[in-house]
Chains A and B, each alone.
Chain A
Amino acid sequence: MWKFIVRRILITIPQIILLSVLLFLLAQAMPGDALSGLVDPNVSLEQKNALREKLGLNAPWYEKYGEWASGLVQGDLGQSFRFKMPVSDLIEQRMINTFWLSLATLIITYIIAIPLGILSGRYNDTILDSSITGYTYIGFATPLFIFGLVMLWVFGYQLQWFPTSGSVTPGLEPGSFEYVLSKAQHLLLPAISMALIQTVSTVQYLRSEIVDTKQREFIITARAKGASESRVYNKHILRNSLLPIAAFFGYEITFLIGGTVFVEMIFGFPGMGQLFIESILLRDYSVVNAVVLIFGIAAILGALLSDIILSLVDPRIRIK
């Protein structure tokens, strides 16, 4: 098992390096460079070129990459062209917001997925199952952004149960109870919207795991032992079906990343996704780069986490 995990971690390192190279090259291809954000637009071309040379902007790409990467390792994500401040400062609060939004989404996703998946799998081909699969069916075919808009329209504007934008009501004392409550309130609608769509794949996965496990031969062995149906379910079917779901966990992060971009835009939620879109529109590419890099690393680590969980829970990998 340890070998498996170490090998898996070793795969992660080139992935992260490759991701950073890819992003760096993309940044090079982006119109404008660090200079355009730094200097007065009225400076002459010659002066600019001299400055470029001085700042090392004319160096070959791999040298520039080395410099950029060593900065990254020290936590230096570069400067924002537009806001004239370190990207890391710009990102910090946004990242915290997105983190809470993602966490809330994940929790709601599982709160929905596990009971629905279990019911649907256990009572497959009943009316209950049909209604649950009906939901997953429609959920699969509904783009998140449309669903988000509808949720905002219904619960934000029509019923006015939730705030329609922002992450907290302005003017509240950070750390106070009202502040936390307001944060949660702002979080809830986007998180529920995302979770309701995101959860359908988990529900379906769990359902098909259960239906598959039900048909496995060792279930017959368990019945032949004289185990009651409920015991067969709890001891054999459920246990065996839930383990792969646990391993699914890390991959959810990948799905979340795509989702936050849409949800944060729709609900005006000041997180990383919104920052990303804003920065793209402002052509503030060092911020764009940093956001994509962070999300990319999160996804890579999520996949790593999934595989590690799998290797821990499945004895076929654990004992080798």
Chain B
Amino acid sequence: MNAPRLLRRSRPAGTVSGGAVPGGAPRPDAGPPPGVRVRDLTVVYKTPLGELPALGGVSLTIDPGTITGIVGESGSGKSTLALSLLNAVQPPGRIAGGSVEVDGLGDVLKLKGDELRGARGRHLGYVFQAAQNSLNPLKTVGKQLLDLGRSHGVDDLAALVRDARALLERMGLDGARVLDSHQHELSGGMRQRVGIMLALVLNARLAILDEPTTALDMITQATILRIVREVHKERGLTTLMVTHDIGVAAEVTDRLAVMYGGRVVEHGPTMDVLGAPSHPYTQGLIRAIPRLSGDPAEARALPGRPPTLGTLPTQGCVFRERCPLRMEVCETSAPLPVRREERTVACHAREPYASAAGRGEHA
């Protein structure tokens, strides 16, 4: 391994340790990275109390070539959103409405059968939340790779293996050995990298990572985050990264969407959102993060507790019960996302700041 010994960084983006790719990972074919437009996406889960919305009309635009982070507390609907991008919401869940347009694919929600299956893996790379267990325990990584290739009609399997090996080596692993290993022979960090490899080896250009570093050690987490960043750039991807750890999102993403109770409450460039949060939830959240710098005494927890499907208000703003800026209108009407320059915020209290042109994203 020849990772740099001491890496000095001044800015997060771009300063990767050169493009020296060991083994020469294949460059994806030319063409711009895809953009994604999610419109009014509603996903409901069937519960004993009836069908409850886990996503309540989410609209989100992911610009091509960016790394977009989706942050939110447990149960805010992040995974549901990520799965929806692949039209893969699991029962008892059901996509109740909306659309997910992906450049080059069209509306993913309209895809069916083999079309959909082909899109998964080939166009849409998904790195699983519990990557620890995302491999078939009975097969070696290599065999699973071949399964993947055959399922997608890849003719040149040897080339696929070569690509995979190169990709693994790019991420600092001994490719041949890893391909020859079973899941249990790999450590958590290695499995996560294998997960990334399997998501990208068919040249998917949209990478969706659901909590890629949860359950990993700090140092390993740092490594994986670096790899995500580098691979994103090298392969020209559009990346969506779901995490509950704002720090992780802050470290790698260009843009950040904050979710609460199945809505995107704020969306904008990471630096801006963190530096000057607009939505009271974002503000509260950031203030609640334990940090290494600054005065610990200033940190505050958000009052109340995060909602669950059952406790989510069906009317008005989902955040109002914990909101310091709560107003009367919040009881009755749900705030619409309002776009102002690069930022989109969904809050009644913030509406005066919205520009006249900003109703709705990309209106």
The yes or no verdict on A and B being binding partners is no
Chain B residues proximal to chain A, CB less than 8 Å: none
